[in-house]
Amino acid sequence: MKTKNAAALFASFKTSRAIPCARPLRRDFMIQSTFDAGVRAIEYHPMVVLDDHVIRTDAVLVDRDDGRYVVDFVDARPPGDPEAAGLLQLGFEQDSSGILSVTTADVGREPLLSAAREVWRHSTIAVSAGDRAQVLEALEQEGPIPLRAFAGLVATRRYPIEVVYALACEGSVGIDLTCGLDARAIVRCGDLGLSRRYGT
C-alpha cells in the first residue's frame, strides 16, 4: 500500500531519484515525458542561489534530443518565484538550451493524457521473466507491431496488453501514444514513445 508521501513522489527509468510531484500537472508531465522517446532524462533541482539569496525553484529539467530545458509550469509557479527568475538562473547554471513553457492545456491534451495515465497505471506490475521474454522476442522477430497483434503472438501468464504496458513503464518497450491507446497503437523494442514537444 502506498503511503501519502510515496504518492507525492515520482520515479521512472528516466529519473535518477524520486521527484516531488504533489501537483497533478507536474505528475502528468513527467509521465508523458517518461514515454516520450525524445526525452533522455528527467532531473529535479529544488533550489538555486540568486544574488546571495536561496530561491526555491522546485524545478524539473528535461534532457531531450534537441537540448536541455528547464520546465516552467506557467500555471503553477512556486509562490516564492512568481516571475520565474529562479528558473532563468537555473537555466544559466545548468547550461540549458532554454526555458520550456508548459501550461495546463498542454499537458491536458487528449487522447495523450488518458493514454499515458492508463499505461502508467501498470508501472507497479511485476513482469515475470517468461512473460518478458515472450513479448521482447515477438518484437525482435516481428519488428514494430500493433497492440492487437500480441494476442496471437504470445502466450503470457498475464494478459499480454498488461505485460506490454508494464514493460513500457520500465523502458523495455515503447508505445506510440500520440493517437491514443487502442488496438492499433504501435509497440517497438526499447525506449521509443510519443515524441511530444511542449512549448512549440
SS3 33: helix
Q: What is the CATH number of the domain that holds 101?
A: 3.40.1350.10
38-80 pLDDT, tens digit per residue, is: 999 999 998 888 777 787 888 899 999 999 999 999 887 766 6
Chain-wide mean pLDDT for the chain? 87
Domain range holding 122?
A: 112-189
Residue 199 domain-assigned?
no
Residue 95 domain-assigned?
yes
Q: Are residues 26 and 97 in the same domain?
A: yes
Last residue of a domain, one of 68, 91, 107: 107
SS3 70: strand
Q: Are residues 97 and 141 in the same domain?
A: no
Q: Is the pLDDT of residue 3 over 50?
A: no
Last residue of a domain, one of 72, 89, 107: 107
Tell me how many domains the chain contains. 2
The pTM assigned to this predicted structure is: 0.86
Residues 6+ apart with CB under 8 A from 1: none
Q: Are residues 86 and 154 in the same domain?
A: no
Residue 198 domain-assigned?
no
Check: CB of residue 159 under 8 Å from CB of residue 188: no
Residue 137 CA to residue 83 CA, distance in Å, equals: 50
Last residue of a domain, one of 90, 107, 124: 107
| Nearest alpha-carbon partner for 16 in 45, 56, 54 | 45
